[in-house]
C-alpha cells in the first residue's frame, strides 16, 4: 500500500510524524508531500529519515526522471491523506486551485482522499470553511474532524488535530474498503453493539470508570456496516468518531446503557456487548464535591446491572456475543463467563499486554464458544473485528432469522 501524506503549514504538523509512523506500522509505504509553510514547522529531513523516501516539496524541482512527478505519484497511490489540513488547503481543494505540488496532486488524483483539518476554532466555524468542507464531502472526500480542546492560539474549542491513532485507523479503513469489496453476508441482520466505558459518579467532580477507548466495539460496528448490516451502536464516553452509517446512541452510566440496550433490543438479530461496563457504582453520589481532609475515604459500592446476563435471558433467537477483558487465566475465565452469562461467543483478551490492552490499535483475541477455543495472533482491531463477525456468522448461518 502506498500513501501520499500531505503536511501543510500548521503547528500540528509535528503530529504528522506520528501519523507517518502509524501508517508504516500497518505496512504502508509513505511518500511525504510537504508544503512550503509546512516546512516551517517540521524539516524535510525528519520526514525523509523516517519515511525512507525523498520528501516532495517543489512543483518544478529539477530531476533526471522524465515522468511528470505529480501525475506519476497520483497514479501510484492508494490514498491521499492530508494531516494537518489548513483552512487554506481546504479552500484550494474545494475550489480547484492547483498552485503547489499538494493541490495539484489532489486535482490529479483518483484514489480516495482523507483530510484531517486543524486550525483556530473561529476559522473552523467560519461559513467559508464550512462551505468548503461540505463541498468536499459532497465530492466524496473523507474527513477526520478536528477535536475540541486547548489550541495553540490559547483558545478552547473545536480545531485541534484529531489524534494520530484515529487518523491512521480511519486511513486504513478507507484503504481496506477501496482495495476490496467486503462480502455482504450481514444483509438483513440487525446488529446491536455496545462500546466504550461507563462512568459512575462519586460526586459532581469525580467518577469511577476504566481505560476502555471504545476502539474494538467501534471496529466491530464498522465491519458490520461494511458487510451490509443495519447497526445500532450504544457507546459510553469516548474520544473517537462514530462510524459512518451507524445509528449511534451516547450514554454515560451503566444504568443508562442498560436502558438503551433494552429499548433497542427488539428486532436485533446479533448483539455484541463490547462495552467495558463498570461492575460497581457508589451506593449514593454526593451532591457536592468531597473535600480532602487528610483522612481515609471509604466508598460504599453496589453492583451495577449485569447487562450481558440480563439481555442473554431475553435474547430468544438473537445471537449474543460477550467480551472478557482479563489479566490472568484468560481462557478459563472466558469459558466460565460463556457458561454463566448464556452467551453464544465470548471474545477474550489479556488487557495487561501492551499490544492488546486498552487504547491501542491492535488486539490478540481468543474466541470461545461451545465448539471450543480459537486463539488468534496479534491483529489490528479492524482485522480482529472481521474474525469476530466470521465466527458469529458461522453460528448465525445455522439458525433462521427471528420472525418480526
With cell 442498560, the residue in question is: 258
pLDDT digits (tens, 9 = 90+) for 352-385: 888 777 888 888 899 999 889 998 888 888 888 9
Residue 17 to residue 26: CA distance in whole angstroms = 15
Taking 50 as the pLDDT cut, the residues of the chain under it are: 64-68, 402-404
If you search the block for the grid coordinates 529539477, which residue do you land on?
62
The confidence score (pLDDT) of residue 181 equals 54
**Length in residues, the chain:** 404
Return left, alpha or beta for 154; rule: phi > 0 is left, psi -120 to 50 is alpha, else beta: left
Give the three-class secondary structure for 157.
Answer: strand
User: CA 65 to CA 63: how far, in whole Å?
Assistant: 5
β partners of residue 322: 273, 346
Listing DSSP states for 23-92 in one string gives HHHTT-EEEEEE-TTGGGTS-HHHHHHHHSSPPB--TT---S--S-HHHHHHHH-SEEEEEEE-HHHHHH
- Looking at residue 363, its pLDDT comes to 87
The pLDDT of residue 69 is 57
Q: Which helix (H) or strand (E) holds 199?
A: none
Using N-to-C axis directions, what is the helix angle for 101-108 and 69-76, rounded to 10°?
50
How far apart CA 269 and CA 316 sit, in angstroms, is 9
Using a 10 angstrom Cβ sphere, with 0-12 exposed, 13-18 middle and 19 or more buried, the burial of residue 5 is: buried
The half-sphere exposure of 361 on its side-chain side, counting CA atoms within 13 A, is 19
CA–CA gap between residue 88 and residue 388 (Å, rounded): 42
Q: Specify whether the CB–CB gap between 200 and 254 falls below 8 A.
A: yes
pLDDT at 148: 73
- pLDDT in the model for residue 185: 86
Give backbone dihedrals phi and psi of 374, rounded to 5 degrees, phi first. Answer: -115, 110
Catalytic residues: 153
Go through the domains of the chain in sequence order and give each one's CATH number. Answer: 2-179 (3.40.50.1950), 190-396 (3.40.50.10300)
Is the whole model's pTM more than 0.85, yes or no? no
Cell of 298: 471509604
Amino acid at each position: 500500500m502506498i500513501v501520499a501524506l500531505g503536511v501543510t503549514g500548521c503547528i500540528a504538523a509535528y503530529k504528522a510524524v506520528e501519523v507517518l509512523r502509524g501508517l508504516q506500522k500497518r505496512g504502508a509505504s509513505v511518500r511525504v508531500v510537504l508544503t512550503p509553510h509546512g516546512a516551517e514547522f517540521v524539516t524535510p529531513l525528519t520526514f525523509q529519515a523516517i519515511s525512507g523516501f525523498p520528501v516532495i516539496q517543489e512543483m518544478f524541482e529539477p530531476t533526471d526522471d522524465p515522468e511528470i512527478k505529480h501525475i506519476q505519484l497520483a497514479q501510484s497511490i492508494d490514498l491521499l491523506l492530508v494531516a494537518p489540513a489548513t483552512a487554506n488547503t481546504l479552500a484550494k481543494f474545494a475550489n480547484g486551485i492547483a498552485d503547489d505540488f499538494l493541490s495539484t496532486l489532489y486535482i490529479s488524483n483518483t484514489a480516495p482522499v482523507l483530510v484531517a483539518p486543524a486550525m483556530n476554532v473561529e476559522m473552523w466555524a467560519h461559513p467559508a470553511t464550512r462551505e468548503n468542507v461540505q463541498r468536499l464531502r459532497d465530492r466524496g472526500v473523507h474527513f477526520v474532524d478536528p477535536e475540541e480542546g486547548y489550541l495553540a492560539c490559547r483558545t478552547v474549542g473545536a480545531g485541534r488535530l484529531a489524534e494520530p491513532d484515529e487518523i491512521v485507523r480511519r486511513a486504513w479503513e478507507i484503504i481496506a474498503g477501496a482495495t476490496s469489496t467486503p462480502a455482504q453476508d450481514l444483509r438483513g441482520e440487525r446488529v446491536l453493539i455496545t462500546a466504550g466505558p461507563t462512568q459512575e459518579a462519586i460526586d459532581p467532580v469525580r467518577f469511577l470508570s476504566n481505560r476502555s477507548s471504545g476502539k474494538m466495539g467501534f471496529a466491530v460496528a464498522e465491519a458490520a456496516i461494511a458487510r451490509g448490516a443495519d447497526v445500532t451502536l450504544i457507546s459510553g464516553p469516548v474520544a473517537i468518531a462514530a462510524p459512518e452509517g451507524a445509528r449511534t446512541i451516547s450514554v454515560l452510566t451503566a444504568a443508562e446503557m442498560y436502558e438503551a440496550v433494552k429499548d433497542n433490543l427488539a428486532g436485533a438479530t446479533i448483539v455484541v456487548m463490547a462495552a467495558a461496563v463498570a461492575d460497581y457504582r457508589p451506593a449514593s453520589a454526593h451532591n457536592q464535591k468531597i473535600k480532602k481532609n487528610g483522612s481515609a475515604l471509604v466508598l460504599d459500592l453496589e453492583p451495577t446491572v449485569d447487562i450481558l446476563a440480563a439481555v442473554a435471558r431475553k435474547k430468544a433467537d438473537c445471537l449474543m456475543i460477550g467480551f472478557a477483558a482479563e489479566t490472568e487465566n484468560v481462557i478459563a475465565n472466558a469459558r466460565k463467563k460463556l457458561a454463566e452469562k448464556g452467551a453464544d461467543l465470548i471474545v477474550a483478551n489479556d488487557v495487561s499486554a501492551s499490544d492488546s490492552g486498552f487504547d491501542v490499535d491492535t488486539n490478540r483475541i481468543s474466541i470461545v464458544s461451545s465448539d471450543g477455543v480459537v486463539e488468534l495472533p496479534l491483529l489490528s482491531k479492524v482485522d480482529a473485528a472481521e474474525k469476530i463477525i466470521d465466527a458469529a456468522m458461522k453460528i448465525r448461518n445455522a439458525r433462521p432469522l427471528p420472525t418480526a
